[in-house]
Amino acid sequence: MSLLGVGVRDRAANLLDGWVPFVPAPRRPAPAPGACDDVTPDELDLLRRRVINVVGHELRTPITTLRGLADLLAAEEDPEKAAVLREGIARTARRVEALLDDLLLAAGVSTALPVADPEPTEIAGVVVLARPGVVDKVLAELRENAERYAGHPPEVTARVEGDQAVVVVADRGPGVPPEELPLVCEPFFRGEAAVLTHHSLGLGLAVVKALVEQDGGSVAVRNREGGGFEVELRFPRAG
């Protein structure tokens, strides 16, 4: 794909001031196929710069909107128009709140979830052990990803393997370029196409990984035969 005479990678790399390309560090051992591995200490500086860039840019739009709507509200005398402005302010504030929740969840700070022990929760006919709210949040993130990138809701299936419950969330979208697969669970990673077309912190799969691992599970990602992308979640099985 080329646009304005510049390749996608070049455009993505240059869209944001100081944008840092997601190239695995040379010293980093190759991750297991499809595994979502952790960011190494060597990459902390890169990660810090990514955080500043992505958060700064993604917060600019809602904060600009909040300020503008608040200014208009202060001068508005018509009650009906004022109500529209208040609703816009409330929606935008909730959006900022959701961004911050995801930021904390991806960092392993679960202030967005109740502090509670895992309890039996049903997914697609299989009962897993997870803290209240985790399954709903994880499935919501994966559903949003599928609808955004594949254009349709994902299929969710589950099976039992020994003491684990294996949940697969799969779509029939374009999948992920193979070189991006080991990176998609990293906080703030955004695929090249997504940088151009979607506002996002790039935290969806990082949030999923953090939540599932906090409950003693694991996450793997892969492209599907015949096209599409799937996320495999392994939870401790209840009972």
Partner 1 sequence: MRIVVADDEPDVRLLLRLQLQLAGHEVVGEAADGAEAVRLCRETAADAVVLDLLMPGTTGFEAIPQLRALDKPPRIVAYSAVAGEFVRSEMARLDVPLVLKSGDVGPLLEALTGEHE
Write out the residues near partner 1 by the rule CB under 8 A.
3-4, 6, 10-11, 13-19, 57-58, 60-65, 67-69, 71-72, 84-85, 88, 91-92, 148, 195-199
Q: Which helix (H) or strand (E) holds 206?
A: helix 204-214
Q: Which amino acid is at 77?
A: E
Between 37 and 76, CB nearer to partner 1: 76
Alpha-carbon dihedral of residues 110, 46, 98, 114, nearest 10 degrees? Answer: 0
From the CB of 2, what's the least distance to partner 1, in Å? 11
Please write down the long-range contacts of 60-69, taking CB distance under 8 Å and 24 or more positions apart.
61/199, 62/92, 62/93, 62/95, 62/96, 62/99, 63/96, 65/92, 66/92, 66/93, 66/96
Between 169 and 195, CB nearer to partner 1: 195
From the CB of 173, what's the least distance to partner 1, in Å? 13
Which residues make Cβ contacts (< 8 Å) with residue 63, sequence separation at least 6?
96
Between 35 and 100, CB nearer to partner 1: 100
From the CB of 198, what's the least distance to partner 1, in Å? 6
From the CB of 14, what's the least distance to partner 1, in Å? 3
From the CB of 85, what's the least distance to partner 1, in Å? 8
Between 124 and 196, CB nearer to partner 1: 196
Between CA 183 and CA 22 the distance in angstroms is: 8
Q: Which amino acid is at 18?
A: G
Q: Which amino acid is at 155?
A: E
Between 2 and 26, CB nearer to partner 1: 2
